[in-house]
Amino acid sequence: MLLKAKAPKKRFQRKGRQATESDLKAVSDYLKDETPQRDHLIEYLHRIQDDRGYLDSGILTALAELLKLSSGEVYEVASFYHHFDIVKDDDTPPPALTVRVCDSISCNMAGAEKLINELQAGLGDRVRLQRVPCVGRCETAPVAVVGTKPIPFAIAGQIYNTIDQGNHNDQIPADAECYARYVKSGGYQRLKSIVAADDEATREAIIKTLESANLRGLGGAGFPAGRKWRIVRGYAAPRLMAVNIDEGEPGTFKDRYYLERSPHRFLEGMLIAANVVGIAKIYIYLRDEYAGIRALLQRELDTLKKNPPCPLPEIELRRGAGAYICGEESAMIESIEGKRGIPRLRPPYIAEQGLFGRPTLEHNMETLYWVCELLERGADWFSQQGRNGRHGLRSFSVSGRVKRPGMYLAPAGITLRELIDEYCEGMQEGHTLKAYFPGGASGGILPASLSDIPLDFDTLNAYGCFIGSAAIIVLSDQDSVRQQALNAMQFFAHESCGQCTPCRVGTQKAATLMNELNWDQGLLEELCQVMGDASICGLGQAAPNPLRCAMKYFPEEFAQ
């Protein structure tokens, strides 16, 4: 019996769409002869979109092949972030220019809806119009962004003129502090002395100074900075650092304010922390909305690296992509690793296993900004500041119905009434204080009758609120609390990462119920309980705060 010869095995082929030679060549050009790195995926997506204006399926497939990832993995990252535009084969690419109008709380109160309606009627098809969440410029509400150029106190005619003029890029702040000026004024001397000493006694003394001053994390969580340095320092090297400048909380703009004026004050504090804790590499994560700040920081980092005051650790400036959830520390770390910004379950905490599985020191930018000042003036100087039994200083981002919105450095424990009267020149003409958000959208809402509570960490807990990053949004008798509570919930629904059902479904359902003329307050309270108890991270846990406060403190707005 003759045996039939076996047919030759077919050559292995990838399933699904294959990258074309032209797409592979195009993506290779974007990688600039670099060895492809998995954690740079979001950086590569930015390069491509910045050049082309969108991401098409062929380019994503080619990028996946060069990174040795599945197409699905690249697509799920690109589709997670709001600032990436994915165009499928049969889709029409978006217009070359996009106008974005913030519709979050401060801008909503300042007339954003009217502006959006005017632009919808006047822009036609020549540009794309998008409503977007907070862009970090609440003191100049309403704010529009043409390309990457922010337009403060925006009106339709001003936006049309900006479009016609053709300059659509955010500019580096003209008054920003440059490296040479900072060094001439004594900058980096503290860092040089610490590096020169190179002993444990010096590092221990610095940590004790932070502990004595009771400097707490100023991104919102308020964890003691000195204790965090001590914890991370106790884990085995190599240790990494992640700096969080993704201030997406509606009402917050303090980090932008400080960076525009003194970027090296922050950078020196960051490098001191790196030396004391023993950091091998630093990642600075900056929100994508701050295009001018990104150019500024990159310029100053390049100058610093060319003229280092001492040996520096490796520093990378990473770019967010429009996801509020990446302000949460573990979500930010996922994003730096080139993944979707989805919060991690704990334990382990990132101090032990953070970036790339290594012990990680995570800090908000402003926390590091204060390090040099504390070391120069001493812990007593800082702790002796404060009012009403509180200690230290706070950077308050104030917006809404005050005469002079802005960022104000004021004593911790100052009350809202004191802040408005002493720093903001009072309420706007014809407006009477009605309510305020003490900590941005997630911090809850308090009535005018509670405007004499000291504003600080832990002082607002009993009222169902918290100070967070100290974003104060002031409402008047001409504003609807229930409307702004709905605005906050719609923001959370838009920004939920979708990982857990209580947050993903709960925020959407709450926004739907809150959009009704008559709120089912019993059902809404049950929904708040589920979100607070079962959400994985702070977004879902804090989302009920404005809703609960609206029902508790403003029953007159729900009277039948």
Cβ neighbours of residue 417 closer than 8 Å, sequence gap 6 or more:
433, 451, 452
Structure confidence at residue 91 (pLDDT)? 87
CATH superfamily of 21-87: NADH-quinone oxidoreductase subunit E (1.10.10.1590)
Q: Which residue's structure tokens are 């403003």?
A: 554
Structure confidence at residue 3 (pLDDT)? 53
Q: What's at 526, amino acid-wise?
A: E
Structure confidence at residue 12 (pLDDT)? 45
The predicted model scores a pTM of 0.95
Pick the CATH number of 393-557 from 3.30.70.870, 3.40.50.300, 3.40.50.2300, 3.10.20.600: 3.10.20.600
Are 86 and 79 in contact by the 8 Å Cβ rule? The answer is yes
Distances from the Cα of 160 to the Cα of 124, 165, 167, angstroms = 11, 9, 12
Q: How many residues in total does the chain contain?
A: 560
Render pLDDT for 70-83 as a digit per residue (tens, 0 to 9).
999 999 999 999 99
Neighbours of 494 (CB within 10 A): 16
Structure confidence at residue 14 (pLDDT)? 59
Is pLDDT at 13 greater than 60 in this prediction? no
Render pLDDT for 463-490 as a digit per residue (tens, 0 to 9).
999 999 999 999 999 999 999 999 999 9
Structure confidence at residue 309 (pLDDT)? 95
Is pLDDT at 230 greater than 50 in this prediction? yes
Are 168 and 292 in contact by the 8 Å Cβ rule? The answer is no
C-beta pairs of 498-503 under 8 Å, 24+ apart in sequence: 499/342, 499/343, 499/536, 500/534, 500/535, 500/536, 500/540, 501/534, 502/530, 502/531, 502/533, 502/534, 502/535, 502/540, 503/531, 503/535, 503/536, 503/537, 503/539, 503/540, 503/543
Structural domain boundaries of the chain? 21-87, 97-165, 179-377, 393-557
Query: What is the rounded distance in angstroms from the CA atom of residue 364 to the CA atom of residue 360?
Result: 13
Token code pair at residue 340 = 């979707």
Neighbours of 317 (CB within 10 A): 17
- 232 confidence band (pLDDT: 50, 70, 90): very high
Average pLDDT over residues 343-368: 97
- Name the 3-class secondary structure at 32: coil
Is pLDDT at 277 greater than 50 in this prediction? yes
Q: What's at 342, amino acid-wise?
A: I
Is pLDDT at 11 greater than 80 in this prediction? no
Q: Which residue would you say has higher pLDDT here, 124 or 53? A: 53
The answer to whether domain 179-377 has CATH 1.10.150.120 is: no
Is pLDDT at 1 greater than 80 in this prediction? no
Structure confidence at residue 5 (pLDDT)? 57
CATH superfamily of 97-165: Glutaredoxin (3.40.30.10)
Cα atoms found within 13 Å of the Cα of residue 485, Cβ hemisphere only: 29
Is pLDDT at 303 greater than 70 in this prediction? yes
Please state, rounded to an integer, the average pLDDT across all residues of the chain: 94
